[in-house]
Amino acid sequence: MVAARAQEADRLVARPPQDVVFYLVYGPDTGLVSERARTIAAAFSDPSDPFALVRIEASELTANPTRLADEAYAVSMFSSRRAILLRDGGGRADLASRFRALFKQPPPDTAIVVEAGDLKKSSPLRVLFEQESRAYAIPCFADDERSIGALIDEEARAAGLSIASEARALLVSLLGGDRLMTRGEIQKLCLHAHGTGTITLSDVEALIGDSSTFAIDEVIDAAAGGALTVLVEGLAKARAEGIDAGQIVGAALRHFMLLDELRAAVDSGVAPADAVNGARPPVFFKRKGKVEAALGLWPPARLARAVIVLGEAARDARLNASLAADIVGETLLTLARAADQAAGRRRR
C-alpha cells in the first residue's frame, strides 16, 4: 500500500520518485489538489516541449475510450519523459478498470497524474491506487495553522520580505480552506509590500482583514446558525460589494471544518464555550457566541456532509466563474435551511 501520509505529501510532491509513474491526488481542498497535481506533472515533463504534458478531462474518455492508453504508450519525438494530467472532477467509476490495465504494463516514459475530488475510502480508484505498489495516493486536506504559516514564510522569502509576528498571526487566522486562494492572497500581500522590506500588521488589515472579511464572516455565521434572512441579505451585500464567491466558499469550508473539530471536542466532554475559546486559529471574540450556538445545531454526520458539499461547491465555482455566486449562494442557503430545521427541533 502506497498511501502517502498528509505530513509526507509536500516532500513527495516536491520530489516525486522518477521510478513511480502513477499518482492520484485527491481531497476536499480543491486548490491544493490542483496545485500538487500540476507540480507532479511538471516534474515529469519538459517545459520547453509543448507536447510533453497532455491534459485530459475524464469526461472525454466516453467519446474516446482508448485515448488514455494511446497517450500513455505514445512515443515522444522530442522529450525523453512525458506526463498526462487527467482531471476527474466527477469521480468516474470506470477509471479504476482503466488503471488496472495500465498497472499491468506501466508506460516506460510517461507518468500519469490523476487530479480528483474528495474520494471516499471505498472509492474504487482510491482503493486501487492505495493497494498498488507502483503508485501513490496523495490526500489534500485543508491547510492547518502550521502549513499556512509555512506557506506565508515561503512566499515572503521568495519576495525578499520579512513579516512582523503580529501580522503573521493575523494572516494565519484569516487564511486557509483552499490552497490556491491562500497562496493568491499571500502573493497579493507581498506585491503590496514590495520595496518596504517587511509586511506589517497594517498591510494585512488593509488587504486581507478589510470590511469584506467581516461581511464574509456574517454570511458564514448566518449559514451555520440557520439565520436565513440574515444570510440572504448578507449574500446580496457581498455581491453588491464585489466580494469573490470563491473567497466566501473557501472561508465557509474552513469554518465548517473548524466546527467539525470543535464538535468532536464537545462530544468528548469539553464544554462548548471551552472548545470555542481553545480553537486554533482563534475565533474572533465577537463571533464566539454564534459559533457556540452553531455547535448545538450540527451533529458530526451532518458536519462531515457539509464539508463535502462545500468542497464540491468550491470546485464547481472555480470551474464555472460566471455561475460562482449562484453556486455558492445556493449551497450556503441549503446549509442554512438544515441549521434552521435543527434549531426548530431544539425549540420544540
166 vs 347 pLDDT, higher one = 166
CA angle 104, 109, 114 (to 5 degrees): 65
Q: Once rounded to an integer, what is the mean pLDDT over residues 176-185?
A: 80
Report pLDDT for 100.
93
Phi and psi based region of residue 224 (left: phi greater than 0; alpha: psi -120 to 50; beta: remaining): alpha
* Cα–Cα nearest to 250, from 181, 298, 324, 319: 181
172/54 Cα distance (integer angstroms): 36
Classify 52 as helix, strand or coil: coil
Report pLDDT for 2.
57
For 14-49, write each residue's pLDDT tens digit.
899 988 999 999 988 888 898 999 999 999 988 878
For the record, the C-alpha cell of 338 comes out as 438544515
CB 9 within 8 A of CB 140: yes
CB 159 within 8 A of CB 54: no
Classify 135 as helix, strand or coil: strand
Edge-to-edge strand ranges of the sheet holding 110-116 = 53-57, 82-88, 110-116, 22-26, 135-139
For 54-98, write each residue's pLDDT tens digit.
999 988 888 899 999 999 998 776 667 899 999 986 667 788 999
Q: Once rounded to an integer, what is the mean pLDDT over residues 225-246?
A: 91
Residue 203 exposed, middle or buried by CB count within 10 Å (0-12, 13-18, 19+): buried
- Residue the block writes with cell 492508453: 69
Report pLDDT for 49.
80
CB 113 within 8 A of CB 83: yes
Neighbours of 233 (CB within 10 A): 14
Q: Once rounded to an integer, what is the mean pLDDT over residues 50-57?
A: 89
User: CB under 8 Å to 87, separation ≥6 — which residues?
Assistant: 55, 56, 57, 58, 115
For the record, the C-alpha cell of 24 comes out as 492520484
Report pLDDT for 1.
46
Asked whether the predicted pLDDT for residue 7 surpasses 50, the reply is yes
Report pLDDT for 205.
79
Asked whether the predicted pLDDT for residue 331 surpasses 70, the reply is yes
Cis amide leading into 300 (omega within 30) = no
* Cα–Cα nearest to 314, from 27, 26, 29, 24: 29
Percentage of residues in the chain having pLDDT higher than 70 = 93
Highest mean pLDDT, choosing among 89-98, 128-137, 287-296, 330-339: 330-339
